[in-house]
Structure 1
Amino acid sequence: MKITALVENTSCKPEIGFEHGLSLYIETKEKTILFDTGASPLLAKNAKELAIDLGKVDLVILSHGHRDHGGGIETFLELNSKAPIYMRRSALEPYYSQREGAENRFIGIDETLIKNNRVMFTGKETPLGKGLTLFSNVKGEKFYPTGNKSLLKKSETGFEEDDFAHEQNLAIEEDGVSLLVSGCSHRGIVNIVEHFHTLFGHYPTHVIGGFHLYDHSTGKPESPQTLQAIAQALLATGAQYYTCHCTGSENYAALHTLMKEKIAYLSGGTELEFTKKQ
């Protein structure tokens, strides 16, 4: 199994562009998968630099309905004429980011995708083929990100705090490797990993995703106490973690100090290959 970070907030190679967004190219024995599309057409440029043919992608997964993960869908559709796009129906609702002293900023994706016959709406658990499962409906409240308080959805009565029912995660089982992929972990990375354990009866061997760590009350990185508790919970699973995007550089540095080799940063252009855990 091979994973290439097509788009991320940072880059490990001068020829690979970066932006506030996330897109991962995943190769299994059965399928080639695009997990999120970044915020713009950048995924196409980076894919070309990395000799990845987006026209041959078998399926696309949208982790949730925010532009920094779904803004490149239109570009992808121009390059690929076959791949279905799997998302939660609620991913097409209007989402906003609260700005102090200013109007709320729209951060959703193109709602006209609802008319595209390549869009497939997913349930709480959706099998995608051998060893591939999408899941949502994560209900845990451990270390629920306080940064979610500034992320809103618009309803007929006005703005309300997003509950992230539109967020979904990918589980891949192949050759003894059990991979969990999350976009932003808005439901909380600890809760998502625990939900994985509930569904499959074991913890993943590897986890990739942004952790959305941000203290809403201070506007700063998470407290040392919170980061220590999160690190302890993640270490207890025995998984190898690769984080990126919305984790934040200061939060990552603190987690790396606590978790050492059990966590690494996934910059744009990075390639990972997973084999059976020894």
Structure 2
Amino acid sequence: MRITILSENYTPFNLTLRGEHGFSALIEKDDMQLLYDTGRFGICVDNARTLGRDLTRTKKILLSHGHIDHTGGLEKALVAIGHPVDIVGHPRIFEKKHITGQQYVDGFGRKDVFIGIPFERQYLEKMHKARFDLRDGFYEVADRVWLTGEIPITNDVEKIPASLLVEVNDLFVPDDFADDNSLLLDTDKGLVVVFGCAHRGIVNILTYVKKMFNKNIRAIIGGTHLHDTTRGQLEYVKGYLKELIKEDGVELFAPAHCTGIHTIMALSEEFKDITKPAFCGTVFEF
């Protein structure tokens, strides 16, 4: 099984690959190929071409949640794939998601920016023959490949930032990220967990994964949304990971994207023996 990071915030010192604030990973297993998220601007397509990955072999697109930095490349990816595919995600991925804050004030005094999926579902279905398969439970999308579905919140430490909102009946309310879907790969030596953004918290997600599978976690890859975490929250996450690594023998920790470069550096120092970068073009073999 092979995972290739096609879109991420950072690139190695390589002028042939491009980075963006987004995430996309290509999953290959035997003759099966899946695309997990599509990044912000479809750079996943350009990087796939540079890396020699044939996107026309893709059977399904899996969406971690409905933010633009994970879904903005949908149309470009569908064009590159060139044939109808299932797009798998949570029923609430098309909610009108926003971010608010003083840094987003525009010329009209608005303090929010739309950051949801930039395409209407009907447009993608009509123009690109996309087939949406939207489910809210634990779901096997392919042989030994799963999406978590909605993650139960089991601790009161991991908090969703108050700046992340969803529009409901013309009102902005806190986004609870019921649509937050992580990817699980069931390998012979344990579970590989891939986060898109882990908006519901990596401790909540990993706790749920352990409950559902009762297997050791072998690797943890992807965005953890710890870039704006508090010191207390970060220490809580580090404490949980220490115990998990000790108990399960985790072999790989590759934080990326919304983890933030400073938090990536802090986690790399804490877990230096197993931490590796997950830049654009990085390949993980299991």
TM-score under structure 1 length normalisation: 0.90
Q: Does 1:161 align with 2:174?
A: yes
Q: What residue number does 2:200 align with?
A: 187
1:71-220 matches, within 5 Å, as 71-80=72-81, 81-100=83-102, 102=105, 103=110, 104-114=112-122, 116=125, 117-142=130-155, 144-146=157-159, 148-215=161-228
CA distance in 1, matches of 2:143, 2:217: 17
Structure 1 residue 212, shift from structure 2 partner: 0.4
CA distance in 2, matches of 1:20, 1:71: 11
Q: What SS does the aligned partner of 1:208 have?
A: strand
More deviation, 173-182/243-252: 173-182
TM-score under structure 2 length normalisation: 0.88
Structure 1 residue 263, shift from structure 2 partner: 2.4
Structure 1 residue 144, shift from structure 2 partner: 5.0
Q: What residue number does 2:71 align with?
A: 70
Provide the aligned length of Structure 1 versus Structure 2. Answer: 268
Retained in 2: the 8 A contact 1:95–1:108? yes
Q: What residue number does 1:218 align with?
A: none
Structure 1 residue 147, shift from structure 2 partner: 5.4
Q: What SS does the aligned partner of 1:246 have?
A: helix
CA distance in 2, matches of 1:234, 1:32: 30
Q: What residue number does 1:22 align with?
A: 23
- The match for 1:267 among 279, 282, 285 is 279
Gaps of 5+ in 1: 216-220
More deviation, 42-51/101-110: 101-110
Matched residue type, 2:234: L
Retained in 2: the 8 A contact 1:8–1:20? yes
CA distance in 1, matches of 2:90, 2:31: 23
Report the identity percentage: 30
CA distance in 1, matches of 2:193, 2:122: 27
Please give the root-mean-square deviation of Cα atoms over the aligned residues, in Å: 1.8
Matched residue type, 1:95: K
More deviation, 96-105/186-195: 96-105
Judging changes above 3 Å, is the alpha-carbon distance between structure 1 residues 204 and 3 closer, same or farther for their aligned structure 2 residues? same
More deviation, 132-141/13-22: 132-141
CA distance in 2, matches of 1:114, 1:166: 19
Retained in 1: the 8 A contact 2:59–2:85? yes
1:218-264 Cα distance to aligned partner (Å, 9 max, x none): xxx531x4323311211222222111000011111111222222322
Structure 1 residue 46, shift from structure 2 partner: 0.9
1:56-90 Cα distance to aligned partner (Å, 9 max, x none): 11111010000000000001111221321101121
Structure 1 residue 132, shift from structure 2 partner: 1.5
Judging changes above 3 Å, is the alpha-carbon distance between structure 1 residues 258 and 143 closer, same or farther for their aligned structure 2 residues? farther
CA distance in 2, matches of 1:40, 1:92: 18
Retained in 2: the 8 A contact 1:4–1:271? yes
Matched residue type, 2:64: S
Q: Does 1:246 align with 2:253?
A: no
CA distance in 1, matches of 2:274, 2:161: 26
Judging changes above 3 Å, is the alpha-carbon distance between structure 1 residues 143 and 184 closer, same or farther for their aligned structure 2 residues? farther
Retained in 2: the 8 A contact 1:134–1:171? yes
Retained in 2: the 8 A contact 1:84–1:119? yes
Matched residue type, 2:138: E
1:78-118 Cα distance to aligned partner (Å, 9 max, x none): 12213211011210110001021722100011352256251
CA distance in 1, matches of 2:277, 2:27: 17
CA distance in 2, matches of 1:44, 1:85: 16
